[in-house]
C-alpha cells in the first residue's frame, strides 16, 4: 500500500520546479508509505510522479516506484495490490509479453500487463484494489485509474496551469496555485449522507475518480479540460446480468460461496510482511477469520476494540469466536477519553467532511493491529453483497406491509411515530410490533424508530431507500444556499433499463455509493493514517460476480440478512456464538454529546460562530441541539454531521 501524487503541465515545464512540486505533494502522504519516497520527472512532457511506499510485496529496490517498462514507453505510480498478479505473470509468459523479471512485485506485473494489453484490458484482468497513474510516452497521455469498488482513493483537478492528482486531498493543497471554492451542493449531500458522494468533493473544481473508471489527459491539450471518465467495469451491469441466471440449489450456492471466498482469502494472504485480521464477532468478519484460520497452519492474528458502555461493546463476542477458532487474539478496551482523543485528528485524517462516527473505533482497531502486523483483512462489503443491513430487511418488509395504504394515511402514521419520544426503547418496540417481526428488533430500537417515522411516508421504493440512508432528510434546509445534484451513483441507477428485484436494487445502490464513498474510505483513511494496509476479501471479483447470481431468498430469510453467509459460517462457528442483534461498529454518540463532548459541541455550534461562517441554518441547529441536550430527541448523528463539518472548516478553511 502506498501514497501517490503528481502533476501534468501541458506544454512542459522546468525540471526542478516540477520535481519540487511533486516532492512537496508526495511528502504529505508519508503516513501512507513510510518505507521509501521517490519522484520521477519528465520536464519536456511536463509530467512528474511521486510515490510513498509501504513495502508489502518484494521489499527490495526491485519493487520501487515510480516504475518504468523496459522499453521506456510506460511509467506507473501505483497504490494498491494486484492479488492475482502471479496468474497474470504466467499469462504474460505464455503470450511472450514477459520481460526479464527484475523482481516479484505486483507493480512490475502491472506495467507489463499494460504494455501487452493496453490500459482498459489490463484493468479488467486485475483482481485487486488500486489507484494509479500511467504515463504513455508514445501517446503523450496521462491516464488515472481506480479499482472496481473504489477501495483506494484518487482525487484530481486543476490548480492553475497544472493538472494535479493524489491519494488524498491534502497533497493537492500544497500546490502554490491551490485556491478552490467550497461546493455547497457537496456540503448539502454530506448533510444527507455523512459523506460526499463521487464524483464530487467538498471543493468545486476537484473530483473523485468514480470506481471502475479511468480518465485520460493529453499533454498537448489546448485548454484545461475535464474529460469524462470511462468505465472499464460496471457493477450495475453485473447485477443486471445476474437477474436472468439465478442459482437454484442452496447447497450448491453455499459450497460455491465458500470456495470462492476461500480462494479470495488465499489470494489476499499473499504478503512479505506480517498479516492478520479485524474481528468484531459479527457474521462477516467471523466468516473471513474462520476461512483464513482454516488455511493457516499457525494461529492467525486477530484484533478487536472493546467499549465499557453497554450495548456498544462486542469484544466479548469476538473473544468467544477467536477462542473457538484458535486465533492469536488481541483485544483492547478503551474508555471514553481514549476514544475522544481521536476526534481532534479526524478532520486532517479525512481532509473533507466525513461523519461516519465509526471512524473512531476503526482508527483505534487499526492502531492496535499496526503494533503487530502490516496487513489486516476485514469483513467489509458482506452487507452490500448479501443483504446484511437493517434497511435491507426493513425496506422490503415495510414496503410490502405498507404499500397498500394510501399515501396520506402513511404520512399520518409517520407523523405519529415521529411525535413519540425515542426512549425508553421498550415503548418503541411495542409500537413497531404490528409492523415488524420480532427478529427485526435491535438493541438500539430507540435509534431506529426515527427512521421508521421518516420512511413510512415515502412515495416510492426509491424514495424509501433514499430516506433510509439519510441522516438529514431535508439537507437543503440545513445548508444556506444548499441544493442537491445527481451523483455518479444516481446516474448509474437511473441507467438501469431492466426491472430489478427491490432487494437487488437496494443493495446495488448501497454498493455504488455507501460502500465506496463511506465504508471503504473510512477504513482506508483510518488504517493508512497508521500505515496499515487493509484488504477486503468480499470484494474479490469472483465473489462479487457470484453474489449477483444469488437470489434474494438466499440473502434475506425469516427477517434476517446474510442467510447464505451464515450457512457457510455455521460450518466453522456455532450459531449460538453468532446469532444476536446487529449493532454495527459504533460509539455511544448520543450520550457523549450530552456528557464529555458537551462543551466541545457548544463551542463549535455557537450561534455567533455559525453566523460568521455562513454555512448552516443557525435556527435549525439551535433547535436540534436543544432537543438533543434536553433528552427530548436523539439527534446525535445529525449533530455529528454538523460538528465534523465545523471541525473540517477550522482545519482547512481558516484564514
Beta bridge partners of 505: none
C-alpha cell at 266: 488465499
CA-CA distance, 335 to 306, in Å (whole number)?
9
User: Which three-class secondary structure state does DSSP give residue 221?
Assistant: coil
- Note the maximum CA span of the chain: 72
250 and 377 share one domain:
yes
Confidence at residue 100, expressed as pLDDT on a 0 to 100 scale: 85
Looking at residue 448, its pLDDT comes to: 63
Proportion of the chain in helix, strand, coil states, percent, rounded to 5: 45, 15, 40
Return the number of other C-beta atoms located less than 10 Å from residue 94's C-beta: 9
The stretch 293-313 carries a mean pLDDT of: 86
Q: How does the average pLDDT of the chain come out, rounded? A: 90
Euclidean distance between CA atoms 223 and 422, whole angstroms = 56
- Region for residue 44 given its phi and psi (left: phi exceeds 0; alpha: psi -120 to 50; beta: otherwise): alpha
pLDDT given at position 272 = 80
CA–CA separation, 14 and 252 (whole Å): 62
Residue 461: what pLDDT? 73
**195 domain residue, yes or no:** no
Note whether 428 and 373 are same-domain residues: no
Residue 418: the pLDDT is: 65
Which residues have CB under 8 Å from 587's CB, separation 6+? 307, 312, 339, 357, 358, 360, 361
Is 488 contained in some domain? yes
Are residues 249 and 226 part of one domain? no
Among 245-254, 426-435, 479-488, 627-636, name the one with the lowest average pLDDT: 426-435
Contacts of 277 (CB under 8 A, 6+ apart): 285, 288, 289, 292, 300, 301, 302, 303, 376, 377, 378
Q: Which of 577, 606, 632 is the last residue of a domain?
A: 577
Rg value, the chain, Cα: 24
> Within this chain, do residues 144 and 291 fall inside the same structural domain, yes or no?
no
- Alpha-carbon gap, residue 25 to 170, rounded angstroms: 8
| C-alpha 284: how far from chain center | 16
pLDDT value at residue 335: 82
H/E stretch holding 240: helix 235-242
| 3-state SS track over 163-201 | EEEECCHHHHCCCCCCCCCECHHHHHHHHHHCCCCCCEC
Nearest to 25 by CA among 10, 4, 44, 53: 4
189: in domain = no
Q: How many CB atoms lie within 10 A of CB 371?
A: 11
Q: What is the rounded CA–CA span in Å between residue 499 and residue 512?
A: 17
CATH of the domain at 279: 3.40.50.620
The more confident residue out of 265 and 98 is 265
**Structure letter (DSSP) for residue 374:** S
Clarify whether residues 37 and 171 are in a common domain.
yes
Instruction: Identify the CA nearest to 22 among candidates 42, 40, 43.
Output: 40
The average pLDDT across 352-380 equals 96
Count of CB atoms situated within 10 Å of the CB of 617: 16
Lowest mean pLDDT: which of 141-145, 241-245, 371-375, 607-611?
Answer: 241-245
In a domain, residue 216? The reply is yes
Pull the grid cell for residue 388. 446484511
**Model confidence at 384: pLDDT above 70:** yes
Residues 26 and 154 in one domain: yes
Residue 362 in domain: yes
CB 605 within 8 A of CB 621: yes
Helix residue ranges per DSSP H, 511-597: 520-528, 541-547, 563-569, 589-594
pLDDT at res. 64: 85
> Are 213 and 295 in a shared domain?
no
Q: Tell me how far CA of residue 72 lies from CA of 61, 139, 297, 502, in angstroms.
A: 18, 12, 43, 50
Is pLDDT above 70 for 112?
Answer: yes
Q: What angle do CA 419, 420, 426 make, to 5 degrees?
A: 165
Round to whole Å and give the CA distance between 67 and 69.
7
Cα dihedral sign, 88-89-93-96: positive
Q: Is residue 524 part of a domain?
A: no
pLDDT-derived band at 632, boundaries 50, 70, 90: confident
**Domain stops at, among 550, 577, 604:** 577
| Rounded Cα gap, residues 85 and 449, in angstroms | 48
Specify the residue for cell string 477458532: 325
Please name the residues in contact with 369: beta carbons below 8 A apart, sequence gap of 6 or more.
Answer: 276, 278, 301, 303, 330, 376, 532
pLDDT at 393: 87
Distance CA 331, CA 381 (A): 23
> What's residue 150's pLDDT?
97
Work out the average pLDDT over 600-610.
96
C-alpha cell at 374: 502490516
The DSSP string of 44-106 is TTTEEEEEEE---S--SGGG-SSEE-TTSSEEEEEEEEETTHHHHHHHHHHTT---------H
> Could you read off the pLDDT of 210-250 as tens digits, one per residue?
999 999 999 987 778 899 999 999 999 999 999 989 999 99
Which ranges constitute the DSSP H helices of 201-309?
235-242, 250-268, 283-295
Number of domains in the chain: 4
Q: Is 212 found in the same domain as 132?
A: yes
Confirm whether 552 is domain-assigned: yes
| pLDDT higher at 415 or 484 | 484
Query: Torsion over CA of 90, 92, 95 and 98, rounded to 10 degrees?
Result: -110
Tell whether 334 and 428 lie within a shared domain.
no
Query: pLDDT category, 37, cuts 50, 70, 90?
Result: very high
Q: How far apart are CA 286 and CA 571, in angstroms?
A: 12
171: exposed, middle or buried (C-beta count within 10 Å: 0-12, 13-18, 19+)?
buried
Interatomic CA distance for residues 190 and 471, integer angstroms: 9
pLDDT-based confidence at residue 426 (cuts at 50, 70, 90): very low
Q: What is the pLDDT of residues 79-102, one digit of tens each?
A: 999 999 999 999 999 998 888 898
Scanning the structure block, which residue is given the C-alpha cell 470484494?
539
Residue 452 in domain: yes
Residues 457 and 323 in one domain: no
pLDDT at 223: 78
- Residues 634-645: pLDDT tens digits? 999 999 999 999
Q: Which single residue is written with the C-alpha cell 437477474? A: 243
394 and 373 belong to one structural domain? no
Q: What is the CATH number of the domain that holds 122?
A: 3.60.20.10
At 117, list the grid cell: 494489453
Range of the domain at 601: 589-652
Average the pLDDT over each of 193-207, 343-357, 457-471 and give the range with the smallest value: 457-471
pLDDT value of residue 97: 83
The pLDDT value given to residue 91: 95
What strands, in cross-sheet order, belong to the sheet with 162-166? Answer: 36-42, 47-53, 2-8, 162-166, 155-159, 206-208
Which pLDDT score is estimated for 258?
98
pLDDT at site 420: 62
Please state, in angstroms and rounded to a whole number, the distance separating the CA atoms of residues 309 and 56.
37
Query: Is the pLDDT at 582 greater than 50, yes or no?
Result: yes
Give CA 360 to chain center in angstroms: 15
Q: Domain check: are 103 and 225 in the same one? A: yes
Grid coordinates of 642 = 454538523
Question: Percentage of residues in the chain with pLDDT exceeding 70?
Answer: 90
Percent of the chain with pLDDT over 90: 74
Amino acid at each position: 500500500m502506498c501514497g501517490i501524487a503528481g502533476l501534468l503541465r501541458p506544454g512542459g515545464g522546468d525540471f526542478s520546479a516540477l520535481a519540487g512540486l511533486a516532492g512537496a505533494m508526495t511528502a504529505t502522504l508519508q503516513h501512507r508509505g513510510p518505507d521509501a519516497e521517490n519522484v520521477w520527472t519528465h520536464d519536456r512532457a511536463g509530467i512528474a510522479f511521486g510515490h510513498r511506499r509501504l513495502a508489502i510485496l518484494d521489499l527490495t529496490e526491485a519493487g520501487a516506484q515510480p516504475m518504468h517498462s523496459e522499453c521506456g514507453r510506460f511509467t506507473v505510480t501505483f497504490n494498491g495490490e494486484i492479488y492475482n498478479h502471479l496468474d497474470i505473470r504466467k499469462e504474460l509468459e505464455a503470450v511472450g509479453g514477459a520481460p526479464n523479471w527484475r523482481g516479484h512485485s505486483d507493480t512490475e506485473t502491472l506495467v507489463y500487463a499494460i504494455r501487452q494489453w493496453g490500459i482498459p484490458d489490463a484493468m479488467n484482468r486485475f483482481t485487486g484494489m488500486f489507484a494509479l497513474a500511467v504515463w504513455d510516452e508514445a501517446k503523450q497521455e496521462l491516464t488515472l485509474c481506480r479499482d472496481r469498488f473504489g477501495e483506494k482513493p484518487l482525487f484530481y483537478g486543476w490548480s492553475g496551469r497544472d493538472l494535479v492528482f493524489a491519494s488524498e486531498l491534502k497533497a493537492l493543497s500544497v500546490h502554490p496555485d491551490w485556491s478552490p471554492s467550497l461546493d455547497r451542493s457537496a456540503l448539502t449531500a454530506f448533510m444527507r449522507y455523512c459523506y460526499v458522494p463521487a464524483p464530487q468533493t467538498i471543493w468545486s473544481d476537484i473530483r473523485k475518480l468514480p470506481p471502475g473508471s479511468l480518465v485520460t489527459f493529453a499533454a498537448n491539450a489546448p485548454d484545461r479540460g475535464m474529460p469524462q471518465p470511462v468505465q472499464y467495469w460496471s457493477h450495475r451491469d453485473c447485477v443486471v446480468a445476474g437477474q436472468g441466471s439465478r442459482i437454484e440449489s442452496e447447497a450448491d450456492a453455499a459450497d460455491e460461496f465458500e470456495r470462492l471466498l476461500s480462494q479470495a482469502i488465499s489470494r489476499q494472504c499473499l504478503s512479505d510482511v506480517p498479516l492478520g485480521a479485524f474481528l468484531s464477532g459479527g457474521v462477516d468478519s467471523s466468516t473471513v477469520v474462520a476461512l483464513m484460520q482454516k488455511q493457516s497452519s499457525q494461529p492467525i492474528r486477530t484484533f478487536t476494540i472493546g467499549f465499557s458502555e453497554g450495548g456498544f461493546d462486542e469484544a466479548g463476542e469476538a473473544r468467544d469466536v477467536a477462542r473457538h477458532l484458535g486465533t492469536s487474539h488481541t483485544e483492547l478496551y478503551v474508555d471514553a477519553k481514549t476514544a475522544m482523543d481521536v476526534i481532534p485528528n479526524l478532520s486532517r485524517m479525512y481532509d473533507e467532511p466525513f461523519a461516519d462516527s465509526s471512524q473512531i473505533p476503526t482508527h483505534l482497531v487499526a492502531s492496535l493491529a499496526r503494533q503487530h502486523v502490516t496487513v489486516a483483512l476485514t469483513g467489509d462489503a458482506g452487507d452490500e453483497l448479501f443483504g446484511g443491513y437493517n434497511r435491507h430487511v426493513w425496506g422490503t418488509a415495510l414496503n410490502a406491509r405498507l404499500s397498500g395504504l394510501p399515501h396520506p394515511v402513511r404520512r399520518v402514521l409517520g407523523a405519529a411515530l415521529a411525535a413519540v419520544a425515542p426512549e425508553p426503547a421498550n415503548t418503541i418496540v411495542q409500537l413497531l410490533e404490528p409492523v415488524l417481526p420480532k427478529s427485526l428488533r435491535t438493541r438500539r430500537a430507540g435509534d431506529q424508530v426515527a427512521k421508521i417515522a421518516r420512511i413510512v411516508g415515502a412515495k416510492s421504493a426509491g424514495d424509501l431507500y433514499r430516506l433510509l440512508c439519510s441522516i438529514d432528510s431535508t439537507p437543503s434546509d440545513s445548508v444556506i444556499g444548499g441544493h442537491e445534484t445527481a451523483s455518479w451513483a444516481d446516474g448509474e441507477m437511473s441507467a438501469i433499463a431492466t426491472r430489478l428485484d427491490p432487494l437487488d436494487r437496494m443493495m446495488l445502490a448501497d454498493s455504488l455509493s455507501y460502500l465506496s464513498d463511506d465504508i471503504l474510505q473510512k477504513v482506508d483513511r483510518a488504517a493508512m493514517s497508521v500505515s496499515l494496509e487493509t484488504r477486503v476479501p468480499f470484494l474479490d471479483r469472483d465473489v462479487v460476480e457470484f453474489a449477483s447470481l444469488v437470489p434474494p431468498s438466499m440473502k434475506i430469510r425469516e427477517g434476517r440478512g446474510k442467510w447464505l453467509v451464515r450457512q457457510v459460517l455455521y460450518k466453522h462457528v456455532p450459531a449460538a456464538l453468532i446469532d444476536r442483534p446487529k449493532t454495527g461498529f459504533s460509539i455511544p454518540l448520543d450520550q457523549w454529546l450530552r456528557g464529555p463532548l458537551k462543551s466541545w459541541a457548544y463551542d463549535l455550534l455557537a450561534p455567533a460562530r455559525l453566523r460568521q461562517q455562513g454555512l448552516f441554518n443557525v435556527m435549525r441547529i439551535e433547535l436540534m441541539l436543544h432537543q438533543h441536550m434536553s433528552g427530548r430527541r436523539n439527534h446525535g448523528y445529525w449533530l455529528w454531521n454538523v460538528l465534523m463539518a465545523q471541525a473540517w472548516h477550522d482545519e482547512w478553511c481558516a484564514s
